[in-house]
Amino acid sequence: MSGGAGPTRRALLSLGSNVGDRWEHLRGAVAAMPDVVDVSTVYETAPVGGPDQGPYLNCVVRLQTDLSPKALLELCRGLEVEAGRVRRVRWGPRTLDVDILWVDGESVDDEGLTVPHPRMFERAFVLVPLRDVAPDLVDEIPGGTAGDDVVPVGPLAEPAGA
């Protein structure tokens, strides 16, 4: 446990990377997170929106934590900074993107933070890995299951081809 003020509950974070050593950005972020209890398979996905850019590696991490949504947001932003993320273009390429998808029993709608994530149920690149670690939240995946746009590439600990 991380030493926060409240009871522990499930929190789900989405991670993506499409710049530099994508595997290492994901591995480093997960290794630096407190309270990790599960990590989805890593999937390669086409970018959604934004400028022309390369494919992403995506995964979802399940925490059992007492961190508040705001403390989780600070954690996410810190992990992005550690990975060298620079925010220049909305939906542009990035070394690391970490989003809070869900925190059991929490609803937040503040400037800069919305929980549950407002688009999490619309994006196959979130829903496919989310189904690995929180199947109770995933009723259906837009466009079916993993396919041309969401391709499993392996567990985070042992990337394919490494």
Known catalytic residues are 85, 94, 97, 99
Q: Crossing angle, helix 22-32 and helix 69-82, to 10 degrees?
A: 140
Other Cβ atoms within 10 Å of 10 Cβ, number: 19
**Token pair belonging to 93:** 């390429």
Specify the residue for token string 């542009």: 92
Task: Report the distance separating Cα 105 and Cα 102, nearest Å.
Answer: 9
Contact 78, 71 (CB under 8 A): no
Contact 8, 1 (CB under 8 A): yes
Q: What angle do CA 143, 144, 148 make, to 5 degrees?
A: 70
